[in-house]
Amino acid sequence: MEILFSFAFFLGSAQAADLNDAVQQAVERDFDSEPFSVWSMAMGDLNRDGLSDAALILVGRQTDFGRPERFVVYLGTAQGRFDQLSRSAQFCEVRDFYELEIREGSVFVNMGHTVGEPIRSTTLQFRLEQGVSDLRLIGEEYLEEYSLIDSVFRGSINYLTGKAVYSRANDLGRKEVTRRLRLPAIHLRGFDCSHWRSLGSEVVIDESLMVKE
C-alpha cells in the first residue's frame, strides 16, 4: 500500500510539473517580446471539459511608469497544450498579494493590502462566456477589516443585476444599505484596471454606523 501511495504521489507530482511546464511554454510563446514572469497561478477546469485550464497574473520589470501586469487565462487542450483565451491590458498593480481560484466556470481574483490597519482586499469574479470566447466581470467584493477595534466593512457588487450591498459590523451593531447601479458589461479582453473604478467602497458606513455617499 505504501509503495502504491508513493507511486500515485509521484505520478500526480509529475503530471502537475508537466502542466506547469506547458503553461510556462505558453507564456513564453505569447509574451516572447516582453519580460513577464508569473506572480500567481491557479489551475482548474474552467470550461468543464475535463481538462486543466490556467489563470495567471504576470508581472514585468518595475519602471519609472509603474509595473506592467497582465491577467491571462488559458484553456488546456487534449494534446497537452495551453491556448490563450483572453488577457487584460494593464492589471491592478496591487501592493501585497494576488490569489487566484478557478471554480464553477469562473476565475476569482483576490488582491489586497495586508500591511497595517485596516487590512483591505478586493475579489473580482470573472465568468466564462462561451458565446464571446471571453470572461465577463460579474462580481466584486470589497473587504476592510480593523482587528484592533473589531470592525468589518463589506461592499458586494453584482455586475449582472446592478445590485450593490454595503455593510459594516462593529461593537455598535450592524448597518446595511442596498443601492441599484447601472453598470456596463466589462470583459477581460483589453480590461485596463488603471481606468476601472472599483465600486466596493462607493458608499461609506462609518464607525458610528452613519451612511455617507
CB 158 within 8 A of CB 137: no
The 10 Å CB-count burial string (b at 16+, else e) for 57-86 is bbbeeeeeeeebbbbbbbbbeeeeebeebb
CB 45 within 8 A of CB 104: no
pLDDT of residue 9: 37
**Predicted confidence (pLDDT) at residue 67 exceeds the cutoff of 90:** no
pLDDT of residue 95: 77
pLDDT digits (tens, 9 = 90+) for 103-149: 999 999 999 877 777 889 999 999 999 888 999 999 999 999 988 88
pLDDT digits (tens, 9 = 90+) for 193-205: 989 999 999 999 9
CB 129 within 8 A of CB 135: yes
Which cell is 69 given? 501586469
Q: Which sign does the torsion angle of CA 179, 169, 121, 82 carry?
A: negative
Comparing 5 with 162, the larger pLDDT belongs to: 162
pLDDT band at 12 (very low <50, low <70, confident <90, very high): very low
pLDDT of residue 35: 81
pLDDT band at 17 (very low <50, low <70, confident <90, very high): low
**Predicted confidence (pLDDT) at residue 63 exceeds the cutoff of 50:** yes
Residue length, the chain? Answer: 213
Q: Using CA atoms, how far apart are residues 137 and 143, in angstroms rounded to an integer? A: 18
> Identity (one letter) of the amino acid at 150?
D
pLDDT of residue 104: 93
Q: Using CA atoms, how far apart are residues 69 and 112, in angstroms rounded to an integer? A: 15
H or E element that contains 17: helix 2-30
Backbone torsions φ then ψ of 186, nearest 5 degrees: -120, 125
pLDDT band at 65 (very low <50, low <70, confident <90, very high): confident
Average model confidence (pLDDT) across the chain:
89
**Predicted confidence (pLDDT) at residue 6 exceeds the cutoff of 80:** no
pLDDT of residue 18: 66
Q: Using CA atoms, how far apart are residues 121 and 114, in angstroms rounded to an integer? A: 8
pLDDT digits (tens, 9 = 90+) for 40-60: 999 999 999 999 999 999 998
Count of Cβ atoms closer than 10 Å to residue 15 Cβ: 11
pLDDT band at 16 (very low <50, low <70, confident <90, very high): low
Residue spans of the domains in the chain: they are 2-212
Q: Using CA atoms, how far apart are residues 52 and 44, in angstroms rounded to an integer? A: 5
